[in-house]
Amino acid sequence: MSVDDALLAIEDLAVTVGTDEGKAEILDRADLVLRPGSIHGVVGESGCGKSTLIKAILGLLPKRTVVERGRVHFEGRDLLQLSGDAMAREVRGRAIGFIPQDPFQALNPVFRVGDQLMESLRWHGLPGEEAPLRGRVDRATRARHRAHLVSVLSAVQLPDAEQALDRYPHQFSGGQRQRLLIAAALSTRPKVILADEPTTALDVTTQLQILKLLRELAERFGLSMIFVTHDFGVVAQLCDTVTVMYAGQTVESGPVASVLGAPLHPYSRMLLACHPDRAVELAGIPGAVPSPLKPPSGCRFNPRCTDARPVCAMARPAVTTPASQHRVACTLYPPDADPATRAA
Amino acid sequence: MLRFILRRLLLALPALFGLMVLTFIMLRVLPADPSAALAGENATPEQIAAIRAAFGFDLPIWKQFLIYFGQVMRADLGTSLFTNRPVAADIALRLPATIELTFAALIFATAVGIPLGTLAAVWHNSAFDHIVRIVTVAGLAVASFWFAIILQFTFSMEFDILPLRGRLETGIDPPPFFTGLYLIDSLVSLNFTTFLNAIEHLIMPAFTLSLGGLATIARFTRAGVLDTMQKDFVSYAKAAGYPERRIIWVYVLRNSVVAATTQIGLLFGALIAGAVAVEWIYDWPGIGSYAVQAIFTSDYKAILAVTLVVGLIYAFVNLAVDVVLALLDPRVAETL
């Protein structure tokens, strides 16, 4: 997977945050490639930098964070170089849609759902149309926005779409709210959709319905989506390709069948073994994700790795491609044994 | 909603009754003797006793209260011992002045306090935030009578741009009576000279009175906005591409003013109490200065009536606040 045929690519991203105890490296050498029309999973334990990755793409990194290195390629531009104003006007809600983690908290409780969902259309316009000047919409435009939203709401299979727009968030269940938020993300026909653990806050049956819906929508509209999760089961059901992250670093990426079927990195192997669907017994990984204040040197996983050798703590392992389109950063796969590297 | 309003009005009745009992007893516990005051300095004990009997002050207190309560129920607030006019007529004459003053102060405090608090939160820990904090703390701490005198000294005596006291200049007739509020009445009757003159007279008293409320509203709005900005729906709104200004001035503010609105209801009590001092200093012909006069002359019927009327207004304002809260937040409306 090269950066060139990607729709969106993150390259060698490093982000630090200033804390009272010093600088914390929350992302270091994070890579990700999203190809058009595919769903790309980002998987890892809590605190490994998945959400930070999403925030970096959206240009919404919290205060006191600094992008030390890296690029976010999208439509021939580096999003990290765009001004806050350009990000708000051209990217967020327009070129890139967002589905949040917790549908119970994401909608403002004191505004009607319709007013909130129409906000994106108001500032970014209907798909294929110019945005209304300074968000001023006349009655006719508003009616067209509303009609468009109703059609999107029926696409996400929300019952009584017309009436739903006049109700308040607390009048919907969690699954219905997530459908509303998916509709909000789809309404401006963005090129990329970022989903930040959109099923975590829901109960299991609702999770399955939402995943099924996302899969259907992806096929119907040819969506390109980055889907953050900590659950390999979700990746298996939904995604085409996947990136595994550990402590702010991309450790492995590739097609889902390859990464899940034959994981290369010891961390991926152990994480997969943790998944109750796949292991007879919960293996668990000894130790915890290291503090980003003092990350281990070399490969950040080496203190917890059963295959660790002295060389692992010395330098960051090189990224190699031992299998087709399947990349890994681990000393178990040296560059000289790598057919891709040898060819070059 | 209608049922809620009716229920709240019914609940206000026992509260007002309690207020009446309390004021009645407190006035009797005070050493001041209205009979002695009425009889004058040179009265003999016999004369005082006669007056006492005539006004029923010699009866047991519970009997006196029952008599008074019966009168109030018949809308008879008694006769002022000082002005010799029915207390109800006195209050009807003066109440609009107080309402005009307190509402002007409240509107000013809200109109300035909410944007001030919001900006302080948006730019929190900036120089602007610190200045707002200092000004609001000062606004709460400064005694209104002292501030009033400073204003009078500066703007009336030194620069002579605002009138020193009163509600209208002598020589200008009050506008024809519709609401009793000069600003509204003069506008309705297209009397612009009177309108401007009434505004000039209102500025300093209303500003003095609004200071404490303005500080409270600004502080509660700041805290509310800061709290709301941490919410998930704000980060979602950013990620979904709403413009920053729109997020703050529409989506954040609406959630944040809930706390400030609750305060406005409570503030109204403080505003009325403040009006007593402010009206006295600016010679504003409202029920505040009437109450001061009544206290000085032990005019107990007037004191009782003013307390009752203020209690009634307070109950109404807080009911209005609850209705506004329900309009601001649909979840509150459903619990009504």
Cα dihedral: A295, A296, A298, A301 (round 10): -100
Kindly state the average pLDDT of the residues B5-21: 85
- With CB atoms and an 8 Å threshold, state whether A100 touches B329: no
Which residues in chain A are contacts of B329 at CB distance < 8 A? 109-110
* Minimal-distance CA residue of chain B relative to A58: B239
User: Is pLDDT at B157 greater than 50 in this prediction?
Assistant: yes
Q: How close A113 comes to chain B (CA, Å)? A: 12
Share of chain A above pLDDT 70, in %: 93
- Say which residues have a Cβ less than 8 Å from residue A171's Cβ, sequence separation at least 6: none
The tens digit of pLDDT for each residue in A39-60 reads 999 998 877 888 889 999 999 9
Q: By 3-state DSSP, what share of chain B in percent is helix, strand and coil, each rounded to 5? A: 80, 0, 20
Top mean-pLDDT range of A23-32, A221-230, A284-293: A221-230
User: Is pLDDT at A282 greater than 60 in this prediction?
Assistant: no
Domain that holds residue A209: 8-95+190-287
Residue A338 lies in a domain: no
Residue A108 has its nearest CB partner, among B233, B238, B243, at: B233
The tens digit of pLDDT for each residue in A115-147 reads 999 998 888 888 877 777 777 888 888 999 999
- Number of Cβ within 10 Å of residue A78's Cβ equals 12
State which of A184, A210, A244 marks the end of a domain: A184
- One DSSP character per residue, B232-281 reads HHHHHHHHTT--HHHIIIIIIHHHHHHHHHHHHHHHHHHHHHHHHHHHHH
Residue A315 lies in a domain: no
Residue A323 lies in a domain: no
Distance CA A203, CA A175 (A): 9
With residue B182 as reference, give the H or E element that holds it: helix B182-188
Locate the domains of chain B by residue range. Answer: 2-73, 96-335
Distance CA A71, CA B243 (A): 25
Question: In chain A, how many H helices and how many E strands?
Answer: 12, 12
Closest listed residue to residue A98, CA positions, set A119, A71, A69, A129: A119
A213 touches chain B (CB under 8 A): no
Q: How close B285 comes to chain A (CA, Å)? A: 42
User: Is pLDDT at B108 greater than 90 in this prediction?
Assistant: yes
Judge if A178 and A196 occupy the same domain: no
- With CB atoms and an 8 Å threshold, state whether A109 touches B329: yes
Distance CA B109, CA B219 (A): 12
* Minimal-distance CA residue of chain A relative to B328: A110
Q: How close A189 comes to chain B (CA, Å)? A: 13
pLDDT at B171: 78
Kindly state the average pLDDT of the residues A159-170: 90
Q: By mean pLDDT, which of A205-214, A294-303, B203-212 is the weakest?
A: A294-303
* Minimal-distance CA residue of chain A relative to B326: A110
Judge if A114 and A132 occupy the same domain: yes
Closest listed residue to residue B233, CA positions, set A119, A29, A257, A219: A119
Which residues in chain B are contacts of A92 at CB distance < 8 A? 238-241
A29 touches chain B (CB under 8 A): no
Torsion sign over Cα A283, A286, A292, A296: negative
> Which comes out higher in pLDDT, residue A167 or B11?
A167
Picking from B122, B234, B238 by the largest number of A CB atoms within 10 A of its own CB, the best residue to mutate is: B238
CB pairs under 8 A between A and B: 76
Cα dihedral: B35, B41, B44, B50 (round 10): -20
Judge if A178 and A198 occupy the same domain: no
Judge if A151 and A206 occupy the same domain: no
Judge if A78 and A200 occupy the same domain: yes
Distance CA A298, CA A288 (A): 17
Centroid of chain to Cα A214: 14
Distance CA B215, CA B109 (A): 8
Residue A207 lies in a domain: yes
Distance CA A187, CA A309 (A): 51
> Is A131 within 8 Å of A119 (Cβ atoms)?
no
* Minimal-distance CA residue of chain A relative to B240: A93
State which of A134, A153, A184 marks the end of a domain: A184
- Chain A neighbours among B 201-240 (CB < 8 Å)? 231-233, 235-240
> Which comes out higher in pLDDT, residue B275 or A3?
B275
Share of chain B above pLDDT 90, in %: 22
> Is A341 within 8 Å of A303 (Cβ atoms)?
no
Residue A171 lies in a domain: yes
Distance CA A244, CA A233 (A): 13
Has domain B96-335 been given CATH number 3.20.20.70?
no
* Minimal-distance CA residue of chain A relative to B235: A106
The tens digit of pLDDT for each residue in A283-301 reads 567 777 787 888 888 888 8
ipTM over 0.85: yes
Judge if A153 and A237 occupy the same domain: no
Which residues in chain A are contacts of B230 at CB distance < 8 A? none
Reported pTM = 0.81
User: Is pLDDT at B175 greater than 70 in this prediction?
Assistant: yes
CA A326 vs CA A243, A252, A301, B90, B199: distances in Å: 10, 7, 19, 91, 78
Q: By 3-state DSSP, what share of chain A in percent is helix, strand and coil, each rounded to 5? A: 40, 25, 40
- With CB atoms and an 8 Å threshold, state whether B239 touches A120: no
Residue A16 lies in a domain: yes
Residue A326 lies in a domain: no
Question: Mean pLDDT across chain A, nearest whole number?
Answer: 86
* Minimal-distance CA residue of chain A relative to B252: A108
Which residues in chain B are contacts of A110 at CB distance < 8 A? 254-255, 328-331
Which residues in chain A are contacts of B240 at CB distance < 8 A? 92-93, 97-98, 119-120, 184-185
- With CB atoms and an 8 Å threshold, state whether B246 touches A100: no
Picking from A108, A124, A134, A166 by the largest number of B CB atoms within 10 A of its own CB, the best residue to mutate is: A108
Top mean-pLDDT range of A335-344, B138-147, B226-235: B226-235
What's the domain count of chain A? 2
- With CB atoms and an 8 Å threshold, state whether B237 touches A119: yes
Q: Give the CATH number, domain containing residue A54.
A: 3.40.50.300
The tens digit of pLDDT for each residue in A181-190 reads 999 999 999 9
B126 touches chain A (CB under 8 A): no
Residue B236 has its nearest CB partner, among A91, A106, A168, at: A106
Residue A105 has its nearest CB partner, among B232, B328, B331, at: B232
Residue A150 lies in a domain: yes
State which of A287, A302, A326 marks the end of a domain: A287
> Is B332 within 8 Å of B325 (Cβ atoms)?
yes
Q: Which residues of A154-182 are buried (b: 16+ CB within 10 A; e: fewer)?
A: ebbbbeebeebbebbbeebebbbbbbbbb
Which residues in chain A are contacts of B232 at CB distance < 8 A? 100, 102, 105-106
Picking from B126, B228, B231, B242 by the largest number of A CB atoms within 10 A of its own CB, the best residue to mutate is: B242
* Minimal-distance CA residue of chain A relative to B254: A110
The tens digit of pLDDT for each residue in B120-146 reads 999 999 999 999 999 888 888 888 888
Distance CA B294, CA B91 (A): 12
Centroid of chain to Cα B154: 25
The tens digit of pLDDT for each residue in B33-61 reads 677 777 777 778 888 888 777 777 777 88
